[in-house]
Amino acid sequence: MSDTAIAAPPRTSLANGALQTSGIIWFLLAVIGQWTFVYYILVAFGGPAVAGNPEAWNDTQPIHGYIAGDLIGNLFFASHVLLAAVITFGGTLQLVPQIRAHFIGFHRWNGRVFMTVAFIMAISGIYMAWGPRETRLTDIGGIGVSLNGVLIMIAATMALRHVFAKRIDQHRRWAMRTFILVNGVWFYRVGFMGWIIVNQGPLGSTSSLDGPFDLTIAFASYLLPLGILELYFRAQDSHNAGRKWLTSGLLLAATAFMAVGIFGAYMFMWSPHL
Ligand code: HEM
């Protein structure tokens, strides 16, 4: 065996370690940000629902939120928002390897709930955007979040098909794609605030959310994280240490931006309602 052949594995395993560590750091930060979002949802929407005071939903300044007399529309809004807490919290638990290893029964049930709620969220969201309430600020913004909904249903179906066929590695990848897509609305908020803080102002954004940045983030909020996930998968499969290091760097840069965005979303979007 040549010297280079002996030297090669440690180089790759170090790079593999870096890739895995940056993935874990990304995930831990995402969990903090997503649980904060869940807490906000429970306080701002769940609390008033339990107290029989749904008018208070409108304190968060949704596009429509609660409309007196519109029972069906209000029920759609309430179920969509409250299930958002269930899916966001449940999604984080699905990705924890220790839970999969030691509590596979929980993983299966939580997975079933996650997939069912993903479909309900996507369908109820698309209905709210294009149904009688027409809850959208711009058509392009509405198309952006609706495409997110369609992709959620496709990815969830793929994840289910692979797990039924016992193709666990394919299932894991499609489940991670579903996770990213389901968190599209969370990435939207975090990306929006990150952008404003980095640029020290709403560059390319207008109050009616029809500026170039607003129309771009309507799609980029989920396509960009999805693209980074694909790069992560490719780096995992690759034997090229350089590629793994590069992807780890990209992931850490994305994590730093995400940290700024989470801070901004907490300070300016969520904490005023807590
Ligand atoms: C599956 C992941 C999703 C989550 C976690 C989620 C979360 C939320 C939350 C928390 C709200 C309350 C408003 C706020 O505080 O910002 C909301 C409202 C809304 N969502 Fe979603 N959503 C998801 C998917 C979708 C999809 C796919 C659509 C498709 C069009 C959609 C359309 C809407 C609409 C129209 C509203 C009402 C906004 C208003 O009345 O102001 N959502 N969603």
Q: Give the pLDDT confidence of 96-108 residue by residue, as tens digits.
A: 999 999 999 999 9
Check: CB of residue 142 under 8 Å from CB of residue 129. Answer: yes
135 in contact with ligand 1, CB cutoff 6 A? yes
Given a cut of 90, is residue 2 above it in pLDDT? no
pLDDT digits (tens, 9 = 90+) for 116-175: 999 999 999 999 999 999 999 999 999 999 999 999 999 999 999 999 999 999 999 999
Given a cut of 50, is residue 26 above it in pLDDT? yes
At 12 the pLDDT is: 84
Which atom of ligand 1 approaches the CA of 65 most closely?
A: 40
Q: How confident is the model at residue 9 (pLDDT cuts 50, 70, 90)?
A: low
Which atom of ligand 1 approaches the CA of 128 most closely?
A: 35
153 in contact with ligand 1, CB cutoff 6 A? no
Q: Which amino acid is at 48?
A: P
pTM higher than the cut 0.85? yes
pLDDT digits (tens, 9 = 90+) for 52-111: 999 999 999 999 999 999 999 999 999 999 999 999 999 999 999 999 999 999 999 999
14 in contact with ligand 1, CB cutoff 6 A? no
